[in-house]
Structure 1
Amino acid sequence: MSEERETVMLAAFSGWNDACQAATNAIHQLIDAYDAREVQHISCEGYYDYQVSRPTLCRVNGHARIVWPQTTFYDIPLSPTKHCLVMLAPEPNYRWREYCRESLHIAEELGVNRIITLGSMFADCVHTRPLPIGVCDDMDCNSECDCGEYNGPVGITTILEAMARDHSFAGTSIWVSVPQYMGNDDCPMGTLALLNTLERKLGTTFETAGLAKETQEWQAKASMLVRCSNQLEDYVHHLEEDWDKAKQAKDEASAEDPRKADQLVHEAEEFLKRF
């Protein structure tokens, strides 16, 4: 009897949920690395404000073509028993509930079992330490995830996750924090952190050697930028010390009593949020 095929939908949206394009670049990495095939689209009409998500002009073989913002679904065969349905789009401006219903209908048609959303956000973190990753499953939020305590504005990923739960999909949200002092240029380190976490969730391995090299180059550029400003250098050094102290507290607590580790880290994070 053959093993039942698992189909996971990965979703990432450019815009508010995608600092430094880390989340959408993770999706592009997978599309480029595998034999990805377009299988579905959601029309842009009624979902986008074209003064925000503008259509673009492309010239192919001398012919001009208008490309409108749209949602595209790709099928990516990770293995004979595991497929990914990849959803890539700009964050829509209008009718989010209808948009999510249409997205989930496509997921149902294509046999999706689980939905994983990817996101990235600016935060007080540094390029010289591992970037913070938050992972939240339907039934189990890890200690680095603040979703159970957060109150405030949300993006389309949160709406999609909530409606997916209502439709009985299993769901996971993965977010990476990226250094805000690096501006909005691409952050390969954030993209790599998302893919490494996704590997563990899917039980697979991606080809990330090229991305790892880009990360090293990006870190070298960041270090050069920091050295050019005494104020920025002091700021980064302060964040490094905070990170090192939190890690030391966690390591010491784990050695004494593993159950205390997560609580101490949470208390340290809450303390640091006051600064």
Structure 2
Amino acid sequence: MISKDVLTASWDDIAPLRDPVFLIALRGWFDVSNAATAAIEWCVQERVVTIVGSIDPDPFFDFTHERPEVYLDEDEERQLRWPENDIYVARFPEGARDLVLLSGVEPHIHWSTFIDCIVDVAQGLKCSAVVSLGALADQVPHTRLPPVVGSTTNPDLARRLGLSQPQYQGPTGVIGVMQERFDRTGMPAVSLRVGVPHYLTNAQHPRSTAALLRHLEHVLGVPTNHGGIDADVRRWAVLHEEAVEDDAQTLAYVRMLEQQFDRRAEAAIPTGEDLAAQFEKFLREQD
């Protein structure tokens, strides 16, 4: 099986994109509470998008673990919804560039072929870089805006942008494998990840999603509508407080995390503004 067997591509007839960056988030290992996939979906929820590719789910999933869903359509007819990995483009005439986006589901098997599909899309649409989003359980309090940490496995890119190089060793997800593949193909790739309070991972965390959206707006130079998520942040802040208010031990732990968070300096990576300037300069030099 090769990528052409499972990737349906339809971008030949679209108008050229403006300095596109490929933005990727996959529900699964690297998307606790769906904070990363929610960021991509929020970013384009009021924008016209065009689907330019679709990856057939059948070869990539164990459907006893990622089950299809039955639903009733507008005509009250039963339909099946399978795990979707659709690639679409969004144009940002008021921003610095257009985006190619994938907010999908991490495959269970045949990772190499799945990543071949991603690489084919990035190259076919002439993306200047790839940015993957992730969310991990972390020791961050739910009452604070969590920092966004950037990294890349490319030593030159890490040095140029002031990003960290991952030192982690152990099991990884498809995003980690994808980063290595893009390195080998020469495509610049950056990973941005945000923390989610590890004691509330069964809840939603729009505050973590908002942190990613704000960072993306600075780095990519496109509007992400991050201010519109404030109502969700406030609503979930109340629910989070209610979840811990009757547990004295958890409350004490949260206060300790708050103190640690407030004492720590900002993450040892560039600010959003600094990283945006360096990223823009780097992309210009790729032309």
Matches within 5 A, 1:21-170: 21-60=34-73, 61-79=75-93, 82-137=97-152, 138=154, 139-140=157-158, 145=164, 147-170=165-188
Task: Measure how far apart 1:45 and its partner are.
Answer: 1.9
Greater CA drift, 39-48 or 4-13? 4-13
Which of 7, 13, 20 is the aligned partner of 2:33?
Answer: 20
Offset at 1:189? Answer: 0.5
Q: Conserved in 2, the CA contact under 8 Å of 1:17 and 1:121? A: yes
Task: Identify which of 228, 238, 262 aligns with 1:220.
Answer: 238
Q: Would the aligned equivalents of 1:53 and 1:90 in 2 still touch at CA under 8 Å?
A: no
Distance 1:144 1:164 in 2: 17
C-alpha contact 1:11 1:86 (8 A) present in aligned 2: yes
Give the letter for the 1:109 counterpart. Answer: G
Q: Is this contact kept in 2: 1:33–1:207, CA < 8 A?
A: no
Paired residue secondary structure (1:11): strand
Q: CA deviation at 1:197?
A: 0.9
**1:184 Cα deviation (Å)?**
2.0
The code of the aligned residue for 1:198 comes to L
Give the Å deviation of 1:215. 0.9
Q: Which residue of 2 aligns with 1:182?
A: 200
Pairwise CA distance, 1:7: 0.6
Q: CA deviation at 1:166?
A: 1.1
The offset of 1:67, in angstroms, is 1.6
Once the two structures are overlaid, the 10-residue window that deviates more, 67-76 or 205-214, is 205-214
Structure 2 residue aligned with 1:271: none
Structure 2 residue matching 1:86: 3-state secondary structure: strand
After superposition, give the CA deviation of every residue in 1:117-140 in whole Å (9 maximum; x if it has no partner).
Answer: 001011111022221321114422
- TM-score, normalised with respect to structure 2: 0.80
Q: CA separation in 2, counterparts of 1:69 and 1:84? A: 22
Post-superposition Cα deviations, 1:168-191, rounded to whole Å, max 9, x if no partner, equal 111110000010222322210011
Q: Do 1:73 and 1:87's aligned partners in 2 also have CA atoms closer than 8 Å? A: yes
Inter-partner Cα distance in structure 1 for 2:231 and 2:79: 35
Evaluate the alpha carbon distance shift between residue 153 and residue 39 of structure 1 in structure 2; reply closer, same or farther with a 3 A threshold. Answer: same
Counterpart code for 1:209: G
Aligned counterparts of 1:144 and 1:110: Cα–Cα separation in 2: 26
Alpha-carbon offset, residue 64 of structure 1: 1.0
Q: Secondary structure at the match of 1:21?
A: helix
Aligned pair count reads 245
Large movers: runs of 4+ above 4 Å: 141-145
- Once residues 184 and 116 of structure 1 are traced to their aligned partners in structure 2, the CA distance between those partners, rounded to angstroms, is 26
Query: What does residue 8 of structure 1 align with?
Result: 21
How far apart, CA to CA, are the structure 2 residues paired with 1:73 and 1:89?
9
The CA distance in 2 between the partners of 1:181 and 1:240, in whole Å, is: 14
What's the CA shift string for 1:179-227, capped at 9, x where partnerless? 0222322210011111111111102322223202211222232223322
| TM-score normalised to structure 1 length | 0.83
Structure 2 portions without partners, runs of 5+:
1-16, 269-287
SS at match of 2:265: helix
